Chain A
Amino acid sequence: MSGYIIRRLLYALPILIGVNLITFVLFFVVNSPDDMARMQLGDKRITEEAVSAWKADHGYDRPLLYNAEAEGTAKLTDTIFFQKSVKLFAFDFGSSDSGRDIGYDISQRMWPSLAIALPVLLVGLAINISYALMIVFFRATYIDVGSVVLLVAMMSISGLFYIIGGQFLVGKLLHLVPISGYDTGLDAAKFLVLPVIVGVVGGIGTGTRLYRTFFLEEANRDYVRTARAKGLRERTVLSRHVLRNALIPILTGVVAVLPLLFMGALITESFFGVPGLGSYTIDAINRQDFAIVRAMVFLGSVLYILGLILTDISYTMVDPRVRLS
């Protein structure tokens, strides 16, 4: 087991290098360090000296990928790519182009993101599973047909509509909670209610429909027929047999996204003004702050790969037939 995990982590290294290279190339193909300096200094008419000074300050005064003037290994190490990207592997994100410590910002902004993403996941899971189970209990009736139509309709509504509609209905018409904003400590709760509700409602369509197919697949298996033949009540069959077995794909699906919860929801956070990692990323994109974008891409990739590994491990834990090789 531990050997497998170590091997998987080693496999992750070339992928992360690839990710870094792609982001690096994408960003620097047209956006030269000079452009960045001008953008950050924020003035059309600036002297060459100011640009050079900014580049020297932020470490952008080296060649991009290959330093022909340096000696030995420094040919590769004394470059922007190496200096800026390799430190990421030690989770040393450095400082952003506007001078703030990215690592500190991330550790601060992680919690609001998590405070929204975790309740959305848990409440959503509970609602989706119980709703899907109910549909399966009433399968092949009008409740089933009606629910499926409702779910498809809910899926077809743009996520933006849920956010705007939720803000309008709950925040503006009913005046129950503030429309957007954030606070520290327990006071944050009243700001979190709306994003969480919107997140859960927006996910019901896709989630419940997926879980319904999981349940239906299990409900047609032989062991379920056996359970019914034994004379068990439908309720017992569903909760004791179908639910438990269908939880395997559901849980492994959840495990895969678990690490990514830290990344936050981009759109929700910026709509509700939550200072999480999602809005952090969007702000960085708009300000063209490459250091932050690079850090977030790297973090996202690490968490994604972590999710893949966790999925594999959770498979072996819930299903003893699966062996890691």
Chain B
Amino acid sequence: MPVILATDALIFLVVAVALGYGAYAAQHEHLRAPWRRVARSPVAVATLVVIAFYVVIGLLDSMHFHPRIEPMATAEAPPEPPVLPIDADDQTGTASTRAKYSTQVLSLLDVILSDLRERQEKTFSAPFATHLFVKEPMEQPDGSILRGYPPLEHGGTHLADPSRRGFDIAVRTLLGVIKGLLLWMALTAALVWLVAHARGQHYDAAARTMWRGRTDVPWRVALITLAVMLCTSFAAAELAAGYHILGTDKVGEDVFYQSLKSIRTGLVIGTLTTLVMLPAAVILGIMAGYFRGLTDDMIQYLYTTLNSIPGVLLIAAAILMLQVYMTNNAEAFASLVERADLRLLFLCIILGVTSWTGLCRLLRGESLKLREQDYVQAALSLGVGHGTIIARHILPNVLHIVMITVVLDFSGLVLAEAVLSYVNIGVDPTMNSWGNMINGARLELAREPIVWWSLAAAFLFMFTLVLAANLLADVVRDAFDPRLARVG
């Protein structure tokens, strides 16, 4: 039974808006030209491939549902023991057999990664480890108690001889790489066929031009990036089937799984925040610049006031408020997941409130300039209404500013989430996010030897996304900035 959380609905809205914009832009040359410039930049193409991987994982993680509970009527097959993972996402109602559907909320990603999710260890274990990281009393076969590192319940248990772990890892990596390359070759063949079809070339000729990098869109770079990403993903999947490739955390949860689950949180913060702030910023900014006078004064007052409150304090006050509200109205939320989701949405809104002022000011300045343009004055004297002028003349001419701001803000917001979670005013502590991972791992650095993998995993995943977003943002800004506009 599908469940649509509030952020899910908005994510689908973002996707719909993006698709709609794409369809609209494809028909308008002035909007298509900058994107064509973006598509011709090797850096942009490479980062787009990386971001696409993140987006696919994020989208898979946004399709939630209540899993169906199989009726236990079949007599001969003994019922599966209900799995009760300590996963923060889960509800205690998992084992309930009254309803046909469990109260647990899972996403498609959870189903794909169900192996990872359910293979809990007791506590910390290092990446690729076969034994726990901490010593525990173990009962020996002869009945005596010895303190030692107990073997993991899931990591590396397929190994008959632990000393052949290195060999096994190498074999699995190789297998993953080969699988990745096979899929890559299939995709490449399909792409070459498409390009050949579009250019009216022979298949071999198209393949040769692409390989020599003579196509407008740098397909070679895209394909190399794709190959790297596919090989890494498949190797990781292959290894993750036998090991905890990034170790496990304090409660024994797989860190790799956590990192993957955190992708959605990061993407939601980065995109929904801008989506939430866009309408207010665009409407108010254009109104202030276009109507001037009292409207301008009021809007300027509004954003100067909001801007002069230190952002962290505003966020802190709002989140505190929400927490109090949620404790007082605990019964209003059907599940912990819904509660965490609402908090995430609220965080996006409040981050939007603190960050819309910059865009609003930019748009106001641009509209001030635009309203003095001859074509706007001509439209005014012809008796065209204000609404039409704004929609037809002002809005299309400020869209590039909106576009640049949206892309530039994304990476900053992803980074902000980590910092806010550290001060406990970020996303819900039960939600998977890089900030929560860092926050949880911070204290473990004091251990000897240190537990570094949670921290490293969170930073690695965050760094990849933010770096890709930053590089893409640069290209997009250059492509859309009319001051840098070139012919072609």
Chain B, Cβ-Cβ closest to A39 = B324
Interface residues of B in 420-475 (CB under 8 A from A): 422-425, 438, 442, 445, 450, 455, 459, 462-463, 466-467, 469-471, 474
CA–CA, A156 and B469, complex, Å: 9
Q: Spot the interface stretch: A54-62, A64-72, A83-91, A282-290.
A: A282-290
CA–CA, A27 and B318, complex, Å: 8
Enumerate chain B residues within 8 angstroms of A242, measured Cβ to Cβ: none
Whether B445 and A164, one on each chain, are in contact in the complex, defined by CB atoms closer than 8 angstroms, is yes
Whether A168 and B470, one on each chain, are in contact in the complex, defined by CB atoms closer than 8 angstroms, is no
Enumerate chain B residues within 8 angstroms of A159, measured Cβ to Cβ: 415, 419
Chain B, Cβ-Cβ closest to A179 = B446
Whether B321 and A164, one on each chain, are in contact in the complex, defined by CB atoms closer than 8 angstroms, is no
Whether A152 and B467, one on each chain, are in contact in the complex, defined by CB atoms closer than 8 angstroms, is yes
CA–CA, A283 and B198, complex, Å: 62
CA–CA, A171 and B313, complex, Å: 30
Whether B321 and A160, one on each chain, are in contact in the complex, defined by CB atoms closer than 8 angstroms, is no
- Known interface pairs A23-B317, A304-B307. Does A158 touch B312 (Cβ–Cβ under 8 Å)? no
Does B304 have its Cβ within 8 Å of any Cβ on chain A?
yes
Whether A31 and B305, one on each chain, are in contact in the complex, defined by CB atoms closer than 8 angstroms, is no
Does A133 have its Cβ within 8 Å of any Cβ on chain B?
no
Whether A156 and B470, one on each chain, are in contact in the complex, defined by CB atoms closer than 8 angstroms, is yes
From B316, B423, B470, give the contact of A293 (CB < 8 A). B316
Does A263 have its Cβ within 8 Å of any Cβ on chain B?
yes
In angstroms, how far is the closest chain A Cβ from the Cβ of B302?
Answer: 8
CA–CA, A270 and B324, complex, Å: 24
Does A248 have its Cβ within 8 Å of any Cβ on chain B?
no
CA–CA, A282 and B424, complex, Å: 10
CA–CA, A256 and B169, complex, Å: 55
CA–CA, A324 and B407, complex, Å: 35
Enumerate chain A residues within 8 angstroms of B325, measured Cβ to Cβ: 30
CA–CA, A276 and B462, complex, Å: 30
Does B328 have its Cβ within 8 Å of any Cβ on chain A?
yes
Whether A18 and B301, one on each chain, are in contact in the complex, defined by CB atoms closer than 8 angstroms, is yes
- Known interface pairs A152-B471, A168-B445, A300-B310. Does A293 touch B317 (Cβ–Cβ under 8 Å)? yes
Secondary structure dominating the interface of B: helix
From A18, A27, A158, give the contact of B462 (CB < 8 A). A158
Chain A, Cβ-Cβ closest to B350 = A26
Does A29 have its Cβ within 8 Å of any Cβ on chain B?
yes
Does B309 have its Cβ within 8 Å of any Cβ on chain A?
yes
Does A102 have its Cβ within 8 Å of any Cβ on chain B?
no
CA–CA, A158 and B470, complex, Å: 13
In angstroms, how far is the closest chain A Cβ from the Cβ of B116?
Answer: 24
CA–CA, A297 and B320, complex, Å: 15
Interface size class, chain A: 35 or more
Interface size class, chain B: 35 or more
Whether B301 and A14, one on each chain, are in contact in the complex, defined by CB atoms closer than 8 angstroms, is yes
Does B411 have its Cβ within 8 Å of any Cβ on chain A?
yes
Chain B, Cβ-Cβ closest to A206 = B412
From B301, B411, B415, B455, give the contact of A164 (CB < 8 A). B455
From B305, B316, B418, B422, give the contact of A19 (CB < 8 A). B305
- Known interface pairs A19-B305, A23-B317. Does A152 touch B470 (Cβ–Cβ under 8 Å)? yes
Does B163 have its Cβ within 8 Å of any Cβ on chain A?
no
Does A210 have its Cβ within 8 Å of any Cβ on chain B?
no
**Chain A 281-314 near chain B by CB (<8 Å), digits 1 or 0:** 1100110100001001100110011000000000
- Known interface pairs A30-B321, A300-B310, A304-B307. Does A285 touch B425 (Cβ–Cβ under 8 Å)? yes
- Known interface pairs A152-B467, A281-B313, A285-B425. Does A160 touch B308 (Cβ–Cβ under 8 Å)? no
Does A115 have its Cβ within 8 Å of any Cβ on chain B?
no
Does A22 have its Cβ within 8 Å of any Cβ on chain B?
yes
**Chain B 284-311 near chain A by CB (<8 Å), digits 1 or 0:** 0000000000000000010011111110
Whether B313 and A158, one on each chain, are in contact in the complex, defined by CB atoms closer than 8 angstroms, is no
Interface residues of A in 24-43 (CB under 8 A from B): 26-27, 29-31, 35
Whether A156 and B463, one on each chain, are in contact in the complex, defined by CB atoms closer than 8 angstroms, is yes
In angstroms, how far is the closest chain B Cβ from the Cβ of A90?
Answer: 19
Does A153 have its Cβ within 8 Å of any Cβ on chain B?
yes
CA–CA, A14 and B467, complex, Å: 41
Chain A, Cβ-Cβ closest to B321 = A30
Enumerate chain B residues within 8 angstroms of A138, measured Cβ to Cβ: none
- Known interface pairs A19-B308, A152-B471. Does A158 touch B317 (Cβ–Cβ under 8 Å)? no
CA–CA, A164 and B462, complex, Å: 15
Whether A305 and B308, one on each chain, are in contact in the complex, defined by CB atoms closer than 8 angstroms, is yes
Interface residues of A in 154-172 (CB under 8 A from B): 155-161, 164, 167-168, 172
From A22, A160, A167, give the contact of B418 (CB < 8 A). A160
Chain B, Cβ-Cβ closest to A290 = B317
Enumerate chain B residues within 8 angstroms of A293, measured Cβ to Cβ: 313, 316-317
Does A266 have its Cβ within 8 Å of any Cβ on chain B?
yes
Interface-central residue, B309, B450, B462, B466, by most chain A CB under 10 Å: B309
CA–CA, A155 and B415, complex, Å: 10
From B320, B438, B469, give the contact of A31 (CB < 8 A). B320
In the complex, besides A30-B328, A160-B419, 5 extra interface pairs with C-beta distance below 8 angstroms are A30-B321, A152-B470, A263-B310, A285-B423, A285-B425
21 examples of A-B residue contacts, CB within 8 angstroms: A15-B305, A19-B309, A22-B309, A30-B324, A31-B320, A152-B470, A156-B463, A156-B467, A157-B463, A158-B418, A158-B463, A159-B415, A168-B445, A266-B423, A270-B423, A285-B320, A286-B424, A293-B313, A297-B309, A297-B310, A304-B307
Closest 10 CB pairs of A and B: A18-B305, A301-B308, A156-B467, A300-B310, A156-B466, A304-B308, A285-B316, A26-B317, A30-B324, A30-B325
